[in-house]
Structure 1
Amino acid sequence: MNKRLINFRPIARVVSVLLLIIGALMLTGMPFSYYFGESMLPLLYAGLTTIGAAGLLFLVPRAPRGSLPQPSDLTIRKREGYLIVALSWTAMVTFGMLPYLYSGMLPNVADALFETVSGMTTTGASTLSDIEIQPRGLLYWRSLTQWIGGMGIIVLTVAIFPLLGIGGIELFAAEAPGPTSDKLHPRISETAKRLWFIYVGLTLLLGVLMYVMGLSGYDAINHSLTTMATGGFSVYNGSAGVFPPRIQYLITIFMFLAGVNYTVLYLSIKMRWSEVWQSDELKAYIGLVIVLSLFFTARVWYITGNPLEQSFRESVFQVVSLITTTGFVTADYTSWAPSLTMICFVLLFLGACAGSTSGGIKIIRNLVFLKNSYLEFRRIVHPQAIIPLRLNGQIVPGRIITHIFNFLLLYLILFVFGSVVLSVLGLDFMTAIGAMATSLGNVGPGIGEVGPVDNFSWLSAPVKLVLCFVMIIGRLELFTVLVLFTPYFWRLN
């Protein structure tokens, strides 16, 4: 009987396509380097190195005849799908840090890797102490890494897999954020194309609006990339706080849109409003943003004595930035009040809607947990009654509830365990829990010594490497990575 061996040819083929795209995108930073009078060689060398590696991987030979049970040696099964996602992210961050290393911008491997992982996972934590003195071409690449990771480069390549004779459903299931994977089209490649059409369209729209409202073309490009990716990298030390109020309001609106499920955005574009308002998660998202924004505004206005408009603008900006895990800052929210700092810390775990570019636990998981907990009281009073949990008007299957509860428990365990590890490595309590929460949730700023006005440059190399692993686990929704460390994954039958 044939063993179900892992088929490495499609894995190598997909990773090679990914690296080809990454290498080509690196080269798009060269015009910025030329325009600002900087050396183009780091991006050129990094791009060519990455493209060369892609070519070598593409030449991986076919598997021996008879060693695999499927009819095509390019068929992707579930195990290959998870391996492709994990290895693709490993390859992307490995080659993605080459521009930093070749240029000397971040000569330390730990710093270069951290910056790249933070970018690709749209976390937004940075090791750069002075951003504004860095080469503009490399800062563009830094912003582009977040845009690439925003929707997930895997979803992009799924759209072109038919050209390679490779099916992509297993990749989409492993890569797509959130506990559900609503498909806009029966063919997974068409779904990926439509998601990226929305993603690219909103990015272009934001960039044009920023330019029209007074930003330079360079600033508009960089901040539109990192806003729609819910990433938070800026080309200024003061983040979005350096922009005039009109730009801050514009960024707030698009951060909010970036936190909406892309299926809902698609239905909105099609003006299928009845289906849009069926989403309990969207209602909870909107309600949460409104309530927290008003509460923060009242407290900040009272505490700081700032004008009401400024208090409202800074409050709604930080609430949306933290919920969507974007990580832009316009004010030091840890200086407002201990109670508001605690709420901001809780928001590091929340996340926006599933199926968006945001990180975190996601609202839908929290919603299922709260609804099921409430129903448990009814079940206690009426033990014989069958009381199903409904979401969007439909009954949630028990296996989904179990999966969500397992995810929440595992998320909590990882947070506690990781915080202990960081404490052992020398971080104080507040900084350890802040760094762990913001890295696992892919947010960026945290609390303690990694707050909104601090950076991660002072951390030791071991701490940075731990946080790199945590950021990738958080971006890929825990199970996609952790399943690789189970013996069941590697069994041949």
Structure 2
Amino acid sequence: MNLQLNLRIIAVISAMLGLFQLPGLALAWHLGERLAPSAWTLVITFTLALLYMPSRGQLFGGGVNARDGVVAVILGWIVMILLGSLPYYLSGTMRGVDAMFESASGFTTTGSTVLADVEALPQGLLLWRSISQWIGGMGILLLAVAILPYLGVGGAQIMKAEMPGFRKDKLAPRIADSARILWAIYVGLTVACVLAYHLAGMSSLDALHHAFTTISIGGFSPKNASMGAYGPAVQWCAIVFMILAGINYVLYFQLIFLGEWHSLRDEELKWYGIIMLVGSLFCTLEAFASTAAKNLHDALLHGLFQAVSLVTNTGFANVDWETWPLYVQIILLTIAITGAMSGSTTGGIKIVRAIVLFKVLFAVINRMLTQERVIAIKINGKRIPAELLDSVMALGFAMTLTVAAATIILTSLNLDLATAFSATLATLINVGPGIGLVGPMENFGAIPDPGKWLLIVLMVTGRLEVFTVFILFVPHFWKPDAILK
């Protein structure tokens, strides 16, 4: 293990989290709230940063291999969650495990919460809660890669480990340039979202809160009723920006910077639209049939909002969809598992992987019918390499195994099956709400402490798409001669 690298990771993350604490501290000071929690957090984070901060040009060096990158990312996330929990704990509003849960949920953009009354939190702490999701959406280590161009080889390995996914598109020859492009798009969407929310009727502060948690696809809200606390104009804005946030950022780059309009014919983008339309159709029909919607507009708003919120894994709610029939709830959870597009800040398995799995299924059936016929699996007309197909199927099996094991553990803690299964699923795919005790209008406060620790692990595992965490438990990974691609 590269001890020097790990210490420097701690320094970089500590320094960045300290800087991101400043807006919440400034707001607390402006409103006359207690400054001690944020102030002590700043002292701790900046002390760690000063202890291990390297000189310019020596941050990670050029000798960082893939193993170092994986370990650095895991360590980085642990440190980030620990430090991010300090404002909650030091404010006296949460116990240790609850503070860790809220911090992990924020940084992984899961959006699950242990809070029964969100509005009781101080405004400065609420702003930190929203900022944590915005940081986690793109990834703080990716931000380090973007603003520290001398990361060299280490930057490539860290970016690969923190942003795993089906697509390996490279936006620029240099990793730092690619990271900066991604962050530029991310910031641009956030600014546009703030303006749209404000024009739709939100206060400036609420617009900032919700822009952070919409573009990151996180789902935290400073209101107990989530998006249900606002009018239709705000909710339509949320729908538009949740959809935009779920699009592959590579497509934005191709459209904005390269002018490649043919990217709109992307196969995954097409299915992204189809899934949202089909999901919203079922939800709209149910909303229209129930008493929740007074007219067709309300039914369409409720149906489309919930379908978009779940497929993008944002987790906002404008109605208690747990009161809808079970088959509609299952549809919503199914599209949540699928997630939005690869290369976005969404959770889930990603739509492109679902497409590949269906194509593999039909290819196997065709081979049974034609026996010796070889059928290539293609996306956007390009053949998918065999090793990529293997990784898609392995991920599906790994997630299934993880859900089964975690559900068994949670049921052993005297939770009912619906709550245990949906809590596992909601945290692993980073969607936020489940059903039962953790429904869209409930919270995770009823989960026993051992269960909360398990769900924290699941949130990080899901955010890093399983393999980055699972590989730590393979003995060969720790051998000096191990080779990682």
TM-score class normalised by the smaller sequence? over 0.9
Q: Using a 3 Å threshold, how does the CA distance of structure 1 residues 73 and 237 change in structure 2: closer, same or farther?
A: closer
Aligned pair partner of 1:256 in 231, 243, 254? 243
Q: Which amino acid aligns with 1:336?
A: W
Counterpart mapping for 1:405-444 below 5 A? 405-444=393-432
Counterpart mapping for 1:302-341 below 5 A? 302-304=289-291, 306-341=294-329
**2:166 aligned residue:** 179
Distance in 2 separating the partners of 1:84 and 1:207: 33
Q: Using a 3 Å threshold, how does the CA distance of structure 1 residues 73 and 32 change in structure 2: closer, same or farther?
A: closer
Q: Using a 3 Å threshold, how does the CA distance of structure 1 residues 33 and 210 change in structure 2: closer, same or farther?
A: same
Q: Which amino acid aligns with 2:87?
A: P
Specify the SS of the correspondent of 2:444: coil
Aligned pair partner of 1:55 in 50, 57, 60? 50
Distance in 2 separating the partners of 1:177 and 1:359: 11
Deviation string, structure 1 residues 59-97 (Cα, Å, up to 9, x no partner): 69xx9xxxxxxxx96521000000010000000001111
**1:279 aligned residue:** 266
Asked if 1:204 is matched to 2:202, the reply is no
Contact kept? 2:313, 2:348, Cα under 8 Å: yes
Q: Which amino acid aligns with 2:117?
A: D
Distance in 1 separating the partners of 2:164 and 2:267: 18
Asked if 1:488 is matched to 2:483, the reply is no
Deviation string, structure 1 residues 281-325 (Cα, Å, up to 9, x no partner): 111001111122123212321233631100100111110111111
* Root mean square deviation of aligned Cα: 1.7
**1:14 aligned residue:** 9
Distance in 2 separating the partners of 1:83 and 1:224: 32
| Shift of residue 35, structure 1, vs aligned partner | 2.2
**2:385 aligned residue:** 397
Distance in 1 separating the partners of 2:35 and 2:334: 43
Asked if 1:365 is matched to 2:359, the reply is no
Distance in 2 separating the partners of 1:15 and 1:183: 27
Deviation string, structure 1 residues 131-167 (Cα, Å, up to 9, x no partner): 1121000000000110000011111111133245664
Asked if 1:124 is matched to 2:119, the reply is no
Asked if 1:383 is matched to 2:371, the reply is yes
| Shift of residue 274, structure 1, vs aligned partner | 3.9
Contact kept? 1:9, 1:73, Cα under 8 Å: no
Identity of aligned residues (%): 38
Q: Using a 3 Å threshold, how does the CA distance of structure 1 residues 180 and 290 change in structure 2: closer, same or farther?
A: same
Contact kept? 2:106, 2:136, Cα under 8 Å: yes
Distance in 1 separating the partners of 2:452 and 2:108: 14
Specify the SS of the correspondent of 1:410: helix
Distance in 2 separating the partners of 1:92 and 1:134: 21
Distance in 1 separating the partners of 2:154 and 2:146: 10
Aligned pair partner of 1:246 in 220, 230, 233? 233
Asked if 1:82 is matched to 2:77, the reply is no
Contact kept? 1:423, 1:432, Cα under 8 Å: yes
| Shift of residue 280, structure 1, vs aligned partner | 1.0
Aligned pair partner of 2:128 in 114, 136, 141? 141
Distance in 2 separating the partners of 1:57 and 1:470: 29
Contact kept? 1:300, 1:315, Cα under 8 Å: yes
**2:280 aligned residue:** 293
Deviation string, structure 1 residues 15-69 (Cα, Å, up to 9, x no partner): 3112210111112211211222211221121022111112223369xx9xxxxxx
Distance in 1 separating the partners of 2:341 and 2:235: 22
Q: Which amino acid aligns with 1:440?
A: L
Q: Which amino acid aligns with 2:397?
A: L
| Shift of residue 475, structure 1, vs aligned partner | 0.3
**1:459 aligned residue:** 447
Q: Using a 3 Å threshold, how does the CA distance of structure 1 residues 73 and 153 change in structure 2: closer, same or farther?
A: closer
Distance in 1 separating the partners of 2:130 and 2:164: 21
Contact kept? 2:246, 2:344, Cα under 8 Å: yes
| Shift of residue 443, structure 1, vs aligned partner | 0.5
Distance in 2 separating the partners of 1:379 and 1:165: 46
Asked if 1:225 is matched to 2:212, the reply is yes
Aligned pair partner of 2:181 in 185, 194, 197? 194
**1:69 aligned residue:** none
Contact kept? 1:353, 1:363, Cα under 8 Å: yes
Aligned residues: 477
Q: Which amino acid aligns with 1:250?
A: C
Distance in 2 separating the partners of 1:490 and 1:177: 20
Specify the SS of the correspondent of 1:420: helix
Contact kept? 2:65, 2:153, Cα under 8 Å: no
**1:23 aligned residue:** 18
| Shift of residue 277, structure 1, vs aligned partner | 2.7
Contact kept? 1:177, 1:357, Cα under 8 Å: no
Distance in 2 separating the partners of 1:97 and 1:24: 15
Contact kept? 2:283, 2:306, Cα under 8 Å: no
Contact kept? 2:312, 2:346, Cα under 8 Å: yes
Distance in 2 separating the partners of 1:395 and 1:309: 43
Q: Which amino acid aligns with 2:369?
A: V
Distance in 1 separating the partners of 2:238 and 2:214: 7
User: Unaligned 5+ residue runs, structure 2?
Assistant: none
**1:102 aligned residue:** 90
Distance in 2 separating the partners of 1:7 and 1:303: 59
Aligned pair partner of 2:221 in 228, 234, 253? 234
Contact kept? 2:282, 2:328, Cα under 8 Å: no
**Range that drifts further, 150-159 or 289-298:** 289-298
Distance in 1 separating the partners of 2:443 and 2:205: 23
Contact kept? 2:10, 2:48, Cα under 8 Å: no
Asked if 1:168 is matched to 2:163, the reply is no
Specify the SS of the correspondent of 1:159: helix
Q: Which amino acid aligns with 2:106?
A: G
Distance in 1 separating the partners of 2:186 and 2:127: 18
Contact kept? 1:7, 1:73, Cα under 8 Å: no
Distance in 1 separating the partners of 2:50 and 2:90: 21
Q: Using a 3 Å threshold, how does the CA distance of structure 1 residues 303 and 271 change in structure 2: closer, same or farther?
A: farther
Aligned pair partner of 2:28 in 12, 27, 33? 33
Distance in 1 separating the partners of 2:61 and 2:185: 33
Deviation string, structure 1 residues 408-453 (Cα, Å, up to 9, x no partner): 0111010111100110122111100010010101011101110001
